[in-house]
Amino acid sequence: MTSLLRFEEVALRRGGRLLFEELEFTLGAGEALQVTGPNGSGKSSLIRLAAGLLRPQHGRVERSPLALADDNLALDADLPLGRALSFWGGDVPRAMEALGIAHLAEVPVRLLSSGQAKRAALARVVASGAPLWLLDEPLNALDGDGAERVGQIIADHLRNGGAILAASHQPLPSEPPRLELGA
């Protein structure tokens, strides 16, 4: 099995505090892992480490091409949503349809509600075609329809050989195995 994400004996220290050490896991095609734990336990830091935005204090992280959805929307607020997403490339119309936001293509990003912005961030990830998705709190701000759509895109991505590392306080629709931080 091809590894899309591998952590080997990883330790991370932030703000002078050791968040975790000797962390090891591998995600292959079709696999997902949900990171849980109390606030401040390092869930978002783990996602940023997996993305290459942080460096481990110790150990090694190997990753495939990836797409990240976190608190940073990464879309030009002044552009219409469709054009802003097109900047990142990929199959934007299909991704917008999958997240139920195709009707918002001409709406400036700055006018999106929190839930619509979350859907837009996830559409950017879907459109990317990246085999590895890193999702930080993917269900925040979503209504029931949005959560159902997230469940569907997760299932489709895993079925098509992708892998997902998601940090969330809320149970994910696919109920992947969990890694509890700060326990």
The encoded tokens of residue 138 equal 């993917």
- Provide the pLDDT for residue 183: 60
Domain boundaries, the chain: 3-65+176-180, 68-167
- Examine the pLDDT at 56 and tell me if it is beyond 70: yes
- Provide the pLDDT for residue 173: 83
- Provide the pLDDT for residue 182: 84
State which H helix or E strand residue 1 sits in: none
**Domain 3-65+176-180 and domain 68-167 have a common topology:** yes
pLDDT band at residue 149 under the 50/70/90 scheme: very high
Mean pLDDT of 91-108: 98
- Provide the pLDDT for residue 2: 83
pTM equals 0.95
Topology of the domain comprising 3-65+176-180? Rossmann fold (3.40.50)
Mean pLDDT of 116-132: 98
CATH number of 68-167: 3.40.50.300
Give the residue from 87, 89, 84 showing the smallest Cα distance to 108.
Answer: 84
* 23 beta partners: 10
Q: What is the amino acid identity at position 172?
A: L
Are the beta carbons of 127 and 88 closer than 8 angstroms? yes
Give the residue from 57, 56, 63 showing the smallest Cα distance to 2.
Answer: 63
Q: Cα–Cα distance between 149 and 158 in angstroms, integer?
A: 14
Mean pLDDT of 38-46: 94
